[in-house]
A = this chain, B = another copy of it.
């Protein structure tokens, strides 16, 4: 196993299996053929063409589209087609900074191959030359990847919050990090990927932050999403990412990016350029 294997696990994608979902000219999703066949029955909601899918022509506003797709998804949920319902509206737009085209239930996002955004925090403790990293173990009750290792704080980007606001909120909920400390997090990078998972097609951009924590700080989970935290020497983190699949798939990418930025993976590594390109070369 190698660092590059972690990246390859995040680019499992077969173009021929999907049809673009377009709204106002922008490709906002990729829908597989099975879901396409289901959606074709909801003619009041969708127009299913040979090369693409879109909303029905009379659904011209974000609120009309959102109401309509909500009814369809509720019906599909009743038929057992949408699993892991979260009751959380997810904003769909042409890009992160663009206006919202409609909102949809978050659980359906990977089924529609819609791009999502999140924040991931590398929580580290420096002590002279030594560097340790706080590692979270995901709760056995999480819907995706229960029990896997994770960043100290990571979360999806919801509608209506700024990235920094979301970061501070997630820091409080997931690790009881006070706002004053959380605000010291430095934006450092983004990783992106497009890959097929059990839940559907994940097309994510994860914004990465480094947060140096004082040696005396102890994270404490408050929202039930984390089973526990451990403070690992960076060497142990390196081995776990390189040699095992103990980390959640996208958390591995965030750590490889960290290792490159801090000189723990050096340019004489034979995969150095492939790693750097692979972490964000692909459009999600």
Contact = CB atoms under 8 A, between A and B. Distances in A.
Contacts of A261: 188-189, 261
Interface in A218-270: 260-263, 265-268, 270
Dominant secondary structure at the A interface: mixed
Given A277-B281, A280-B280, A280-B281, A97 B270 contact: yes
Interface residues of A, number: 31
Interface string A170-211: 000000000000000011111010000000000001010000
B270 A280 contact: no
A283 interface: yes
Contacts of A282: 281
A26 interface: no
A94 interface: no
A44 to B, nearest CB: 35
A190 B267 contact: yes
A96 interface: yes
Given A192-B273, A205-B273, A273-B96, A187 B263 contact: yes
A188 B280 contact: no
Contact of A263 (B163, B188, B190, B276): B188
A268 B163 contact: yes
Contacts of A188: 260-263
A121 to B, nearest CB: 13
A104 to B, nearest CB: 22
Interface of A: 95-97, 162-164, 186-190, 192, 205, 207, 260-263, 265-268, 270, 272-273, 276-277, 280-283
Given A97-B270, A281-B282, 5 more contacts: A163-B268, A187-B265, A190-B273, A207-B267, A276-B280
Closest 9 CB pairs of A and B: A186-B263, A281-B281, A207-B267, A97-B270, A187-B263, A187-B266, A276-B280, A190-B276, A188-B261
